[in-house]
Chain A
Amino acid sequence: MISVTNVQKQYRDGDTTVHALRGVSLSIEQGEFISIAGPSGSGKTTLLNLIGCIDTATAGEISIDGRAVAGCGKRELAAIRREKLGFVFQSFNLIPVLTAFENVAFSLTLTGTPDAEARERTMRILDEVGLAGMEDRRPSQLSGGQQQRVAVARALVKEPTVVLADEPTANLDSRTGHAILELMVEMNRRHNTTFVFSTHDQMVMDYARRLTMLHDGEIVSDERRSA
Chain B
Amino acid sequence: MKFLVRLATKNLWRYGRRTLITAAAIALGLATYVLLDSMLVGADEESVRNLIWYETGSARVMHPDYWAERERAPLRHVIEDPDSVLDALRSQDVAATPRTTFSGELIVWRDPFPEDGSLLVHVTAIDPETDGRVYRFDQWITEGRPLQAGEPGVVLGSWLAEDLGAEVGYPLIISARSRYGARVTIDAEVVGILNSPNPVINRGGIFLPLDIADLYLDMEGAVTQIDLRFADYARVEGPIAELKQLPALRDLEIADWRLLGADYIAMMEADSVGSGIILFLVFVIAAVGVSNTMLMTIFERTREIGMMRALGMDDRAIRNLFLIEAAGIGLIGAAAGILLGALGNIPMVRVGIDYSAMFRTMDAGYRSTGVLYGAWVPSTFVIAALMGVALAVIVALVPTRRALRMDIPRALSRQ
Interface residues of chain A, those whose CB is within 8 Å of chain B, are 45, 49, 52, 54-55, 74-75, 78-83, 85, 87, 89, 93, 95-98, 106-107, 109-111, 154
How close is B4's CB to chain A, nearest CB, in angstroms?
10
Q: Contacts A95-B304, A96-B14; is A78 near B407 (CB within 8 Å)?
A: no
- On whether the beta carbons of B11 and A54 are closer than 8 Å, the reply is no
Give 30 pairs: A residue, B residue, CB < 8 Å, sorted on A. A45-B409, A49-B409, A52-B310, A54-B310, A54-B409, A54-B412, A55-B407, A55-B408, A75-B314, A78-B309, A78-B313, A80-B312, A81-B311, A81-B312, A82-B311, A82-B313, A83-B312, A87-B307, A87-B310, A87-B311, A95-B304, A95-B307, A95-B308, A97-B11, A97-B13, A98-B7, A106-B311, A110-B313, A111-B312, A154-B311
How close is A83's CB to chain B, nearest CB, in angstroms?
7
| CB-based nearest B residue for A79 | B312
Interface size class of chain B, counting residues whose CB lies under 8 Å from the partner chain: 20 to 34
The answer for the CA separation of A154 and B14 in the assembled complex, in Å, is: 22
The answer for the CA separation of A111 and B312 in the assembled complex, in Å, is: 9
| CB-based nearest A residue for B15 | A97
| CB-based nearest B residue for A154 | B311
How close is B40's CB to chain A, nearest CB, in angstroms?
43
Instruction: Give every chain A residue within 8 A of B14 (Cβ-Cβ).
Output: 96-97
Apart from the given pairs A82-B313, A93-B307, 19 other A-B contacts in the complex at a CB distance below 8 Å: A49-B408, A54-B407, A54-B408, A54-B409, A54-B412, A55-B408, A75-B314, A78-B309, A80-B312, A81-B312, A83-B312, A85-B312, A89-B307, A89-B412, A95-B7, A95-B304, A95-B308, A97-B13, A110-B312
**Binary contact readout B1-17 vs A (1 if CB under 8 angstroms, 0 otherwise):** 00100010011011000
B315 sits at the interface (CB 8 A): yes
B303 sits at the interface (CB 8 A): yes
Q: Given B7, B304, B314, B409, which contacts A78 in the complex, CB threshold below 8 Å?
A: B314
How close is B354's CB to chain A, nearest CB, in angstroms?
51
Instruction: Give every chain A residue within 8 A of B11 (Cβ-Cβ).
Output: 97
Query: Per DSSP, are chain A's interface residues mostly helix, strand or loop, or mixed?
Result: helix
- On whether the beta carbons of B7 and A81 are closer than 8 Å, the reply is no
How close is A187's CB to chain B, nearest CB, in angstroms?
18
| CB-based nearest B residue for A78 | B312
The answer for the CA separation of A3 and B412 in the assembled complex, in Å, is: 25
Q: Contacts A55-B407, A89-B412; is A97 near B311 (CB within 8 Å)?
A: no
- On whether the beta carbons of B314 and A93 are closer than 8 Å, the reply is no
Instruction: Give every chain B residue within 8 A of A54 (Cβ-Cβ).
Output: 309-310, 407-409, 412
| CB-based nearest B residue for A93 | B307
Q: Give chain B interface residues in 369-393, CB to chain A under 8 Å.
A: none
Instruction: Give every chain B residue within 8 A of A83 (Cβ-Cβ).
Output: 312
Q: Given B3, B303, B311, B409, which contacts A107 in the complex, CB threshold below 8 Å?
A: B311
Instruction: Give every chain B residue within 8 A of A87 (Cβ-Cβ).
Output: 307, 310-311
- On whether the beta carbons of A82 and B10 are closer than 8 Å, the reply is no
The answer for the CA separation of A110 and B304 in the assembled complex, in Å, is: 15
Instruction: Give every chain A residue within 8 A of B407 (Cβ-Cβ).
Output: 54-55
Q: Give chain B interface residues in 1-43, CB to chain A under 8 Å.
A: 3, 7, 10-11, 13-14
Q: Give chain B interface residues in 397-415, CB to chain A under 8 Å.
A: 407-409, 412
Instruction: Give every chain A residue within 8 A of B310 (Cβ-Cβ).
Output: 52, 54, 81, 87
- On whether the beta carbons of B303 and A93 are closer than 8 Å, the reply is yes
Instruction: Give every chain B residue within 8 A of A93 (Cβ-Cβ).
Output: 303-304, 307, 412
User: Residue among A55, A83, A85, A110 with the most chain B CB within 10 A?
Assistant: A110
The answer for the CA separation of A53 and B14 in the assembled complex, in Å, is: 31
User: Residue among B307, B310, B412 with the most chain A CB within 10 A?
Assistant: B310
Instruction: Give every chain B residue within 8 A of A106 (Cβ-Cβ).
Output: 311
| CB-based nearest A residue for B301 | A96
How close is B27's CB to chain A, nearest CB, in angstroms?
24
User: Residue among B309, B311, B314 with the most chain A CB within 10 A?
Assistant: B311
| CB-based nearest A residue for B411 | A54
| CB-based nearest B residue for A94 | B307
**Binary contact readout B287-321 vs A (1 if CB under 8 angstroms, 0 otherwise):** 00000000000000001100111111111000000
- On whether the beta carbons of B311 and A74 are closer than 8 Å, the reply is no
Q: Give chain B interface residues in 188-202, CB to chain A under 8 Å.
A: none
- On whether the beta carbons of B10 and A97 are closer than 8 Å, the reply is yes
Instruction: Give every chain B residue within 8 A of A89 (Cβ-Cβ).
Output: 307, 412
Instruction: Give every chain A residue within 8 A of B309 (Cβ-Cβ).
Output: 54, 78
The answer for the CA separation of A6 and B36 in the assembled complex, in Å, is: 68
How close is B261's CB to chain A, nearest CB, in angstroms?
59
How close is A134's CB to chain B, nearest CB, in angstroms?
18
The answer for the CA separation of A85 and B312 in the assembled complex, in Å, is: 9
Q: Give chain B interface residues in 305-363, CB to chain A under 8 Å.
A: 307-315
Instruction: Give every chain A residue within 8 A of B307 (Cβ-Cβ).
Output: 87, 89, 93, 95
The answer for the CA separation of A49 and B412 in the assembled complex, in Å, is: 11
Instruction: Give every chain A residue within 8 A of B311 (Cβ-Cβ).
Output: 81-82, 87, 106-107, 110, 154
The answer for the CA separation of A81 and B304 in the assembled complex, in Å, is: 16
The answer for the CA separation of A78 and B313 in the assembled complex, in Å, is: 7
The answer for the CA separation of A110 and B303 in the assembled complex, in Å, is: 18
| CB-based nearest A residue for B315 | A74
The answer for the CA separation of A83 and B13 in the assembled complex, in Å, is: 30
- On whether the beta carbons of B315 and A97 are closer than 8 Å, the reply is no
Q: What 9 A-B pairs have minimum CB-CB distances, sorted nearest first?
A: A82-B312, A81-B312, A54-B408, A97-B10, A93-B307, A97-B14, A78-B312, A49-B409, A54-B310
